[in-house]
């Protein structure tokens, strides 16, 4: 049953008005949550605060906010060069109907996607009223529907054929813990160790979701590319950017290995600590906001 219209969907504390009708929390409800996850410093009186995910008291406002960030994610991916023909898709679970999700229309360039272009898809793959009446990518539904079913803790998933993600995927292995940014993926990156062809069936989508497992947010698809997920589309999108750059860095490191330039790995204790501090969901949400700000300012038509 869909949640009631008075339920809060993006959990953060007391709101203040922002641009575009959004609201933002001002003071964390617990010291251990937002402030410790993003570890920011303010003034002694607690007046200097850092923006955090907004809160709404009804489904419609929650959905409107989330769709803006989904549309912005496509624009950000275009700027990052993650577009390639009709390949690539980002999905976002609907806050009022968790068995439904929003996704991009087939054959619309990432740089052109607006809020009004987003398509609402049902659990059987049918385009539903309420969103754009446009065709969607069949393989996209097979992958994203399986992930959304298998992982109710994840609300968004990103897949694109990025250059470095594709290049590194041919090894069928995770990145190594060689540098600080890689630690976002410490014990949080799965591998699908086979190439099952173009994902046209529910069975292949289910195999990918199974390989992702019960805890990982990201997965490398051998000979294909990668998928990143998150509680928010902001988290999933930033993880994709970060993982593609990690793949690039890994390839450079591998190419540079020679006598006297052996790779040095980060230890388990340090990696666990850094993953908790630098890879948590709140930090990943925050890390995406500068990208969101950029496209919101430079390309306001995305909100049409």
Q: What is the pLDDT of residue 39?
A: 87
Q: What is the pLDDT of residue 35?
A: 84
pLDDT tens-place values along the chain, 304 residues long: 333 332 222 322 223 333 444 444 433 344 458 888 998 899 999 899 899 999 999 999 999 999 999 999 999 999 999 999 989 999 999 999 999 999 999 999 999 999 999 999 999 999 999 999 999 999 999 999 999 999 999 999 999 999 999 999 999 999 999 999 999 999 999 999 999 877 777 899 999 999 999 999 999 999 999 999 999 999 999 999 999 999 999 999 999 999 999 999 999 999 999 999 999 999 999 999 999 999 999 999 999 9
Cβ-count burial of 108 within 10 angstroms (0-12 exposed, 13-18 middle, 19+ buried)? middle
Query: Are 2 and 97 spatial neighbours (Cβ–Cβ below 8 Å)?
Result: yes
Helices then strands, counting H and E runs in the chain, come out as 8, 9
Residue 17: strand, helix, or coil: strand
Give this prediction's pTM.
0.89
Tell whether 152 is covered by a domain.
yes
Q: What is the pLDDT of residue 223?
A: 95
Cβ-count burial of 47 within 10 angstroms (0-12 exposed, 13-18 middle, 19+ buried)? exposed
Tell whether 12 is covered by a domain.
no
Tell whether 36 is covered by a domain.
no
Tell whether 31 is covered by a domain.
no
Tell whether 53 is covered by a domain.
no
Q: What is the pLDDT of residue 1?
A: 35
Tell whether 75 is covered by a domain.
yes
Q: What is the pLDDT of residue 273?
A: 95
Q: What is the pLDDT of residue 304?
A: 96
Find where tokens 């709404």 sit.
56
Number of domains the chain contains? 1
Tell whether 138 is covered by a domain.
yes
Domain limits for position 193: 59-303
Q: What is the CATH number of the domain that holds 207?
A: 3.40.225.10
Q: What is the pLDDT of residue 198?
A: 76
Q: What is the pLDDT of residue 196?
A: 80
Q: What is the pLDDT of residue 15?
A: 31
Tell whether 252 is covered by a domain.
yes
Name 127's bridge partners. Answer: 121
């Amino acid at each position: 049953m869909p949640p009631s219209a008075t339920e809060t969907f993006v959990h953060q504390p007391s709101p203040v008005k922002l641009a575009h009708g959004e609201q933002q929390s001002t003071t964390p409800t617990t010291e251990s949550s937002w402030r410790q996850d993003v570890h920011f410093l303010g003034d002694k009186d607690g007046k200097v605060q850092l923006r955090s995910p907004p809160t709404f008291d009804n489904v419609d406002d929650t959905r409107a906010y989330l769709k803006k960030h989904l549309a912005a994610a496509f624009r950000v991916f275009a700027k990052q060069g993650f577009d390639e023909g009709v390949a690539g898709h980002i999905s976002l679970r609907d806050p009022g109907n968790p068995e439904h999700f929003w996704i991009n229309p087939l054959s619309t360039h990432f740089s052109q996607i607006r809020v009004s272009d987003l398509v609402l898809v049902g659990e059987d793959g049918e385009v539903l009223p309420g969103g754009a009446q446009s065709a969607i990518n069949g393989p996209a539904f097979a992958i994203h529907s399986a992930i959304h079913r298998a992982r109710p803790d994840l609300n968004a998933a990103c897949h694109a054929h990025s250059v470095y993600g594709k290049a590194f995927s041919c090894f069928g292995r995770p990145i190594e813990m060689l540098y600080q940014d890689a630690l976002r993926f410490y014990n949080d990156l799965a591998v699908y160790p086979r190439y099952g062809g173009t994902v046209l069936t529910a069975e292949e989508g289910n195999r990918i979701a199974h390989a992702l497992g019960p805890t990982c947010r990201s997965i490398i698809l051998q000979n294909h590319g990668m998928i990143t997920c998150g509680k928010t589309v902001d988290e999933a999108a930033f993880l994709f950017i970060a993982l593609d750059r990690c793949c690039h860095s890994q390839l450079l490191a591998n190419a540079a290995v020679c006598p006297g330039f052996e790779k040095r790995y980060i230890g388990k204790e340090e990696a666990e600590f850094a993953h908790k501090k630098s890879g948590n969901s709140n930090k990943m949400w925050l890390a995406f906001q500068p990208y969101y700000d950029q496209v919101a300012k430079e390309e306001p038509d995305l909100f049409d």
